[in-house]
Amino acid sequence: MAFRGGNTAASDVAPGSPLLSLLLLLLLSLSARAAGALLEPVGGQLLPYDRLYYSGVRAYFTQEWDRAAEFLERSIATRAELLQVRRGCHDQCEAAAAGDSARLDSADGSLWDLAVFGLVQRRAECLKFCLEQRVTPSAIPPVSLDIQYEFTNRNPYNYLQVTYYKLGRLEKAVSAAQTFFVSNPSHLEMRNNLEKYRRMKGVREEAFFDREKERHWTLHDSGVLAESISDWPRAAEAWRECVNETLAATEDCRANCAGEALQPSEEDNQLTGTKGLYERAAGLSLQLLSCRQSCVSLVATRPGRISPIEDFLPSLLEHLHLAEFKAGALQGAVMSVRAYLLFYPEDPETLSNLQLYLRTPGGSTPESAQPREDISRYVHRSLLEKKLLYFAMENLGFKFTDPDLWTPESVIPESLHESWRAEKEKLDERQAEGQREGETDDSGFYAGGPITLPGVSITMDDATLNGTNRVVLDGVLSPEECRTILGLATAAASSGDGYRGRRSPHTPHEKFQGLTVLRALRLSQDGLVSAAEAQLLYDLGERVRSLLQSYFRSPSPLYFSFTHLVCRTAVTGDQEGRTDLSHPVHADNCLLEPDTRQCWREPPAFTHRDLSALLYLNDDFEGGDLFFTDRDAKTVTAVVSPQCGRLVGFSSGPVNPHGVSAVTSGRRCALALWFTLDRLHRDMVSRKQCAGLHHRPENHKAMDHTTLRAYTQQRHDQTDYFSVQSVHQPVVHCRGCAEFRKTINNTDHYVIMYQGEL
């Protein structure tokens, strides 16, 4: 029995800071024993958990299973302990600064800013001193966003389940698999692994537990269960503890915002990029406040779900006061209902409940005259933060998404109200006309433009495809061109492309092979594939871009975002009883949530993609049809069968969810292209570098796979542009990257090549 869960996570290991990059290079160049020596605890202080994680991943790929288990477990435990240390230091320094607000109030005129600077410096010194007692200096700086994603997505457990299986420690493998699967419920291979574990002798049901389960979710489920059987005392206790644990989890998250979570992204507003001191200070403080507000959503989002439970804390209080009343705990019920009214002070049903509780004997007491103190502090602090953030939205151009529905309208500036009212009126008008939400495409594309290439015909348009901004064009490639590109795909795969033999990231029943334009041109330069074939692959991208830019009447020039030649091959003997898809239903620039029919344009979705295209090369296979669906991911609205020279183009947003049916026999090949309207996100690597790769290097000679890879790394070091491709991630590119460069090693996870000074 083969377990493959860990392999699918390998390409996600992508450190993003120069320090981590240098470290990974060191770990890959040192012996296993020497690398381990760097990671021994010093005086009981916590080590950087990202380094421990990298060591575990490295041991995993060298099949040192005991070391892999040790370092992966240490990374998980160290991260958890680090978060607790940060929370403790946050509370300690906050208590120590209790008198600073009084000093700020007494400061006047030009001395006020000095008082603020003094407060910030004292807080910084306090946190630094506190952390240094428990954490090594190298573990204090925030880890990269990539590492944050790895742990948020529970990828360490993906590696651990394979590691423990190899070690024969089945119950630990089961718990690791269950922990990963809870956060990744659509991961087909892990689902299959869990089913196989359940059929194994000696595996107890108790082994299937979530190691990362948060206590407030356990209490939430207990409260729901107790309510369902009308066990009101037990329900009241569960909801009371759930409220307390939710507040504690929120505080843990907020404390972490000043450490690991506070990292500016490309989408952040311009404040932190300006040179003025106050503008930069405002930008950093607003990022901190926004992060703290987002903790509401993070705590209210179940593992494996995209969106949070709306009004989570108020809903808990609603459950609590009803359960307390039915359990006879009237004083607690009155305090809880008063706490709920802090969020919705004019809610008629809750006000009616309050009057009922007060009229009931034992309900009106001096102790119950006020709401819960912890909820009062929570609401007061949140409102102060919201006022600052909305002020910044109105006056400083800051982007903020309020996680709460209960925010009073008085907190929101009137100018923002007006713009929102205008948007709501437009939406109401569309709904009154009976239009579905999914029919509105705000991409800026408008299908129906001219076809600029002779011999190309429109086979299906919006009407026949039952959607918006969709088209099927035939005749884009000749049969000879299809054969040429198919030959290129075969030759590149057999020349050490790095994808050979890899399972598809979407199903274990198909194998996946891929080739980027840049790699094809490099292979042609080194004599491993025909230069004419590589040139044709490059030219096809330009052909597709020209056709779609014209047909969709692009509002601005289309830029290449990512281009990939992809072949999926059905695994012989592994097709019986298949119910999965070759590619699950998804949208290309947002995270589709079928249950709510929402599509969230946020990472890890490729939010910069605007237009998608698939150019098919063959039809000598079974299955593999492209299909479009409604936002429920179930209602199929159109089906397109691949054939040589057929091009499918569509806008990348929520109006065009799509998937691919299972390839049950043969090999399906297509050129996948994504385009962007944002010049900053263009794939300038391939297009810039390709111009200089049409001639072979001097003194060229045939190279084997190892020599070719070393030569490719050398070429990376000699250019100001670099490209990296993994099984799951798109091309990564930058310009003038003299500090470090990335390429891929033989195990398909990242190797960091470092140059320059830190």
In the prediction, which pLDDT does 427 show? 61
In the prediction, which pLDDT does 370 show? 83
Q: State the pLDDT confidence band at 744, using cuts at 50, 70 and 90.
A: very low
User: Do residue 373 and residue 485 come from a single domain?
Assistant: no
Average pLDDT, integer, range 84-95: 88
**For the segment 492-536, what is each residue's pLDDT rounded down to a tens digit?**
765 434 344 445 566 778 888 888 887 888 888 878 888 888 888
**For the segment 293-334, what is each residue's pLDDT rounded down to a tens digit?**
999 999 999 998 877 888 999 999 999 999 999 999 998 999
In the prediction, which pLDDT does 579 show? 78
Domain of 63 in residue numbering reads as: 5-207
Average pLDDT, integer, range 564-589: 86
Considering its fold, how many domains does the chain have in total? 3
State whether residue 312 is helix, strand or coil.
helix
Other C-beta atoms within 10 Å of 576: how many? 7
Average pLDDT, integer, range 157-179: 95
DSSP for 471-534, written as a single string:
EEEE-SS-HHHHHHHHHHHHHHHTTT-S-TTPBPSS-TTEEEEEEEHHHHHHHHHTTSS-HHHH
Q: Say if 737 falls within a structural domain.
A: no
Q: State the pLDDT confidence band at 105, using cuts at 50, 70 and 90.
A: low
User: Do residue 511 and residue 656 come from a single domain?
Assistant: yes
User: Do residue 509 and residue 649 come from a single domain?
Assistant: yes
Q: Say if 249 falls within a structural domain.
A: no
**For the segment 397-441, what is each residue's pLDDT rounded down to a tens digit?**
888 889 999 999 889 888 887 877 777 676 666 555 544 444 578
In the prediction, which pLDDT does 466 show? 92
Q: Which of 701, 727, 743 is the last residue of a domain?
A: 701
Average pLDDT, integer, range 630-658: 94
Per the residue annotation, which of 668, 682, 687, 709 is the catalytic one? 668
User: Do residue 189 and residue 235 come from a single domain?
Assistant: no
Please state, rounded to an integer, the average pLDDT across all residues of the chain: 79
Q: Which of 339, 360, 384 is the last residue of a domain?
A: 384
Q: Say if 393 falls within a structural domain.
A: no
Average pLDDT, integer, range 747-752: 29
In the prediction, which pLDDT does 17 show? 39
Q: How far apart are CA 517 and CA 529, in angstroms?
A: 12
**For the segment 198-237, what is each residue's pLDDT rounded down to a tens digit?**
999 889 999 999 999 999 999 999 999 999 999 999 999 9
Average pLDDT, integer, range 111-125: 80
Q: Say if 408 falls within a structural domain.
A: no
In the prediction, which pLDDT does 738 show? 32
User: Do residue 34 and residue 131 come from a single domain?
Assistant: yes
Residue (of 285, 234, 282, 232) closest to 258 by Cα position: 285
Q: Say if 755 falls within a structural domain.
A: no
Q: How far apart are CA 628 and CA 587, in angstroms?
A: 10
Residue (of 333, 391, 322) closest to 361 by Cα position: 333
Segment among 29-33, 639-643, 752-756 with least mean pLDDT: 752-756
In the prediction, which pLDDT does 295 show? 94
Query: What six digits make up the tokens of 110?
Result: 């030009």
DSSP conformational letter for 46: B
Structural contact between residues 659 and 629, judged by C-beta atoms closer than 8 angstroms: yes
State whether residue 63 is helix, strand or coil.
coil
State whether residue 121 is helix, strand or coil.
helix
Find where tokens 């230091």 sit: 89
Q: Say if 463 falls within a structural domain.
A: yes
Question: Taking the CA atoms of the chain, what radius of gyration do you get in angstroms?
Answer: 29
Q: Using DSSP, how many helices (H) and how many strands (E) does the chain show?
A: 24, 18
Q: Say if 709 falls within a structural domain.
A: no
User: Do residue 185 and residue 281 come from a single domain?
Assistant: no
In the prediction, which pLDDT does 564 show? 86
User: Do residue 190 and residue 229 come from a single domain?
Assistant: no
In the prediction, which pLDDT does 127 show? 86
Average pLDDT, integer, range 687-708: 41
pTM, two decimal places? 0.58
User: Do residue 473 and residue 324 come from a single domain?
Assistant: no
User: Do residue 499 and residue 482 come from a single domain?
Assistant: yes
User: Do residue 149 and residue 221 come from a single domain?
Assistant: no
Q: How far apart are CA 464 and CA 466, in angstroms?
A: 5
Strands 647-651 and 470-474: what pairing?
Answer: antiparallel
In the prediction, which pLDDT does 594 show? 87
Is residue 668 annotated as part of the catalytic site, yes or no? Answer: yes
User: Do residue 338 and residue 238 come from a single domain?
Assistant: yes
Q: Which residue has the higher pLDDT, 338 or 444?
A: 338
User: Do residue 581 and residue 516 come from a single domain?
Assistant: yes
Q: Say if 308 falls within a structural domain.
A: yes
In the prediction, which pLDDT does 2 show? 45
Q: Which of 701, 721, 744 is the last residue of a domain?
A: 701
